[in-house]
Each structure stands twice: as structure tokens, then as C-alpha cells.
Amino acid sequence: MAYKVQIPSPVRISRIRVSRARRILAISEIRAAIMPLSGLLGITVRNQSGGDIGVLVDIVARWSPEIDYPPITGLIVRVGRQRTFVDIDKVEIFETKSIALRSSKVDLRDFSKRNNEVLLMEEILDHQLVDVEGIQVIRASELYLANALGKLRLVGVEVGVNALFRRMAPQRIRARANPIRVIDWSDVAAFDETSGEMKLRAARANGGIKRLRPAELADLLEDLGRRERSGLIEALGVEAIADALEEMDAEQIESFIRNTEPDIAADLVANMEPDEAVDVLRDLDEDERDELLDLLEPDVAADLKELISYDEKTAGGIMTSLVLEVHEAATISEVIDQLRDLSDHGGDLDGVVVFDEDGNFCADVSIFELLMVSNRNDQIATLVRESKCVTVDPNDDLDAIAEALIETRRSSVVVVEEGKTLGRILADDLVDAILPDRSKGRFPRLLS
């Protein structure tokens, strides 16, 4: 898989530099003493007397949410046809030139991996990881160990073809470290080999990957494999992933949904903005669409089915059903409180629909108009007569919608049928409908 080169902003570059200056690999003594995994594999393991025991074929590390640098718990040594575990406490010398044990006896029982243990060569090397500081998917071309904080630990990962070529060289060349291109392990999130679960440390629970913006997260999702994607969804939650999906192109979203377990895909669709969810469902085959709709809550499924029923080149076909409607007697203060409750959807709200005693549409009051009212105890009805009431019918075509937007000079227009509000059309969704091949974009709004 080809990975896109991510170019961080100057602010992010500065933050990365400060962050990485505090890492273990910023300590020159440790950086100078790092040992590449490939330079250790294949070394003959000897006993206390110098006799050959076997060959090192893997190294075992222990995961823990509280530890940034996993400690090495033991070695996997091939003795004849058997893979044997040697506890790290029984190792006297551990270098790229020599590995020697403290005694002449070795337990020859087969290795059985315990909970929270990982095999570095088998489960991490050449596998996908996430660089949570550089915001990119990487593949571990080389892993690095070092004595740090009183133990032998996994401290870094190297990416790139140079490391791959070096691994094919003789052992004396494989043993050479290349510290310039090593990423500190505390900046890396790995995935469980079997379940795909993302192994995030507690120290990064509110930072790193969980601070990524939707567009940055979308870039990661595009590059991850199916198992790793599931791990990322589990780690971050469907709401964050749903926001990221909205930043992808239609083909990428379609592929993502098709390659995700149906129940998870349904949760993602349910957490997307209604108009975005409809776009996703329209791109699926009828059987796939029906399967997802059957997994949704009945009221959510009903709303989406209604939106899908409209021609996609009409107002009903591109509107979102996410609309804040308030009675004309509501105070400005009450309306602002309701807007705060919808702050997660700020990008899709630039106005408030006002209805009368009969539930009929009265006006679309802009948020700017609300904020300009000095007395928050005034009723929103005081703004109705000043508001320009331009709406569209659900069956109006794209040209009619564009004309309505031009007339109102707003970034959205309300869809009304027989006096009842059905939804709202955002200017960027109109542009998407007119120019479906353009890259995703958003017009700035007051609450974005």
C-alpha cells in the first residue's frame, strides 16, 4: 500500500519538536546505544559456559496502558525444532554481538504467550502502526531496543526502504543502528495482531490520536487495513469516526462502509449528519442499504428513508433534516441554550426556524440576528417580521435552490412543504450536488 506524505503545519511541526525533545530517544546516551531488532535475530544464544543453546528468533515485550516503553520480558530461542522461552532475568549479556545466559540450564518447554505480551518480530515488525504525533500511518521497517529506566525496553521504530534493505544484509550490517530516522515509541500506537485492538497508552488518552481533527483522522482511515480500522473505531468511538467519514470522498466512504462489519457500519451511518448519511446509503446496492437500515433505530431509519425517497437533484434530495425549530414565543435566551446543546452540529446550523401556534413555518432567523439582540428575554417573535422568508419546495431543482440562496444572501435555505418545515439545504451541499467530483470542502459558518 502506498502512503501519502503528510506535511504538518508549522505550528504542528513546532509542537512535534518540543514533544519529541522530551522523549527517551532525546537522551543522547540512550540514542547512541539502541539496538536494531534485525541485528539481534539469528544470533546464537550461549549458556554461562559458552556452549551453544540455540538461535534467537523473536523477542517478547509486555504491553501496559501505563507504560510508554514496553519492557522486554524474554527471548524466543529456537532449540532444534522447538521454540523455547527464556526469561529476560536469566540473560547475562544482551548485545548485537553476543547473547549469553546466567546459567547453563534452559527450560525446554514450548513457548506460550501470556496476556499483554507481544512478539516483536512476528506481530509488530512489518505491521501497520500510527504515528500519533506526525499523524500518519507507518509500517515498522525496523524496531529498536535499549536499556532505559532500569530495564531493556522497546524504545523506537524506523520506517522506510533503507531499513528494509539493511535487514537483507549480513548480520554485521543489520546490527548498525540508524538513529536519525527513528521515531520514539511513545509517539506510536500499535494494533493487536489478532483482534486489531488499538493499544493506546493512558498517558495519551486525551492527547495524540484522540486530538486529531476529522480531516486528519480521515487520512489515517484511508491508509489502514480493515482490522486496524476496526481497532481505531474501538479506540476512538463511532462519533469521531463518523465525523471523519464526512471528510472523505464518496468512493472512499463507500469502500469503508462495505469493508466494515454491518453493525458498526450502521452505528457510523446513524452518527453522521442526515444528508451525509443519505449520500452514503444512495451509493450502496439496494440489499446493502436495506441491511443497514434494518440495523438502525426505527425513527432514524424512517427519517433516512424519507430523505432517500426524494430525487437527489432536488431540494429534498440534498437537504438535511437536522433543523432547530422553536415556537415564536420562545425567548432569545432559551433559543441560545438550545443552540448550545447542538454545538456538535454547529457546521450545519446557521439559523433557527420559527413556527407559529399551528406548527407552520414563520421565519428562518439567522444566528447573527439572535446574537445582536441586547435583551435576551425578548421573544424570538420580535425578529420574525424583520426576517426575509425565502424557502424552497422539496421538489425544486438545483437552479431554484441556487436562486433562493442568492436572494437570501445566506449560506443555507429552508425546505418547506404545505407550511411544514422539512429540512435545510447548506450551500456546500448544493455545490457538491452541482459539482459531485470536487474535493470535500466546507463554507465557514458562525458556529463551525
Which of 29-38, 194-203, 242-251, 312-321 has the weakest average pLDDT? 194-203
Cα 193 from Cα 127, distance rounded (Å): 9
Q: For residues 370 and 80, give the distance between their C-alpha atoms in angstroms, rounded to a whole number.
A: 79
Q: Per residue in 207-239, pLDDT tens?
A: 566 667 787 788 778 777 777 787 788 878 888
* pLDDT tens digits for range 94-146: 999 899 999 877 777 778 888 889 999 999 999 888 887 777 888 899 999 99
From the CB of residue 14, how many other CB atoms can be counted at a distance below 10 Å? 11
- Measured distance CA(192)–CA(118) in Å, rounded: 8
What is the residue whose three cell numbers read 437500515?
A: 293
SS3 at position 343: helix
Strands 325-327 and 351-355: parallel
The most confident of 51-60, 131-140, 251-260, by mean pLDDT? 51-60
Asked if pLDDT for residue 57 goes beyond 80, the answer is: yes
Neighbour count for residue 152 (Cβ, 10 Å)? 18
pLDDT at 163: 87
| Sole residue written with cell 532475568 | 89
User: What pLDDT shows up at residue 17?
Assistant: 47
Q: Is the confidence at residue 51, as pLDDT, over 70?
A: yes
Range ranked top by mean pLDDT from 11-15, 88-92, 106-110, 213-217: 88-92
Residue length of the chain: 448
Exposed/middle/buried for residue 75 (C-beta within 10 Å: 0-12, 13-18, 19+): buried
What is the per-residue pLDDT across 396-421, written as a single tens digit (0 to 9) for each?
A: 999 999 999 998 888 899 999 999 99
User: How sure is the predictor about 357, in pLDDT bands with cuts at 50, 70 and 90?
Assistant: very high
Instruction: Between 31 and 61, name the one with better pLDDT.
Output: 61
Average pLDDT over all residues of the chain? 84
**What mean pLDDT is predicted for residues 301-318?**
92
Task: Name the phi and psi angles at 47, rounded to 5.
Answer: -85, -175
The residues near 178 (Cβ < 8 Å, ≥ 6 apart) are 36, 142, 158, 162, 163, 166
Cα(430)–Cα(400) distance, integer angstroms: 11
Distance CA 37, CA 96 (A): 9
Report yes or no: 168 and 108 within 8 Å, Cβ to Cβ.
no
Q: What is the per-residue pLDDT for 223? A: 77
- C-alpha dihedral, 12 to 14 to 15 to 18, nearest 10°: 160
Residues near 284 by beta carbon (within 8 Å), at least 6 away in sequence: 254, 257, 258, 292
Residue corresponding to grid cell 510508554: 68
Position 440 scores a pLDDT of 53
| 3-state class (DSSP) for residue 118 | strand
Distance CA 231, CA 220 (A): 12
Q: Are strands 52-62 and 128-131 parallel, antiparallel or unpaired?
A: unpaired
Burial label for 261, CB within 10 Å (0-12, 13-18, 19+), is exposed
Name, in order, each residue with C-beta under 8 angstroms of 370's C-beta and a sequence gap of 6 or more. 332, 335, 336, 339, 352, 380, 383
- DSSP code string of 245-304: HTTS-HHHHHHHHHTS-HHHHHHHHHHS-HHHHHHHHHHS-HHHHHHHHHHS-HHHHHHH
Percent of the chain beyond pLDDT 70?
86
Taking residues 244-258, report their average pLDDT: 85
Q: Tell whether the model's pLDDT for residue 204 goes beyond 50.
A: no
Rounded Cα–Cα distance for residues 195 and 29 (Å): 37
DSSP string, 362-409: EEEEEHHHHHT-S-TTSBTHHHHTTS---EE-TT-BHHHHHHHHHHHT
User: Domains in the chain, start-ordered, CATH in brackets?
Assistant: 1-205 (no CATH), 214-309 (1.25.60.10), 318-434 (3.10.580.10)
Banded pLDDT at 310 (limits 50, 70, 90): very high
Which among 193, 169, 144, 156 is positioned nearest to 42, based on CA atoms?
Answer: 169
270-308 pLDDT tens trace: 999 888 899 899 989 999 999 999 999 999 999 999 999
At a CB cut-off of 8 Å and minimum separation 6, what does 366 contact? 350, 351, 387, 410
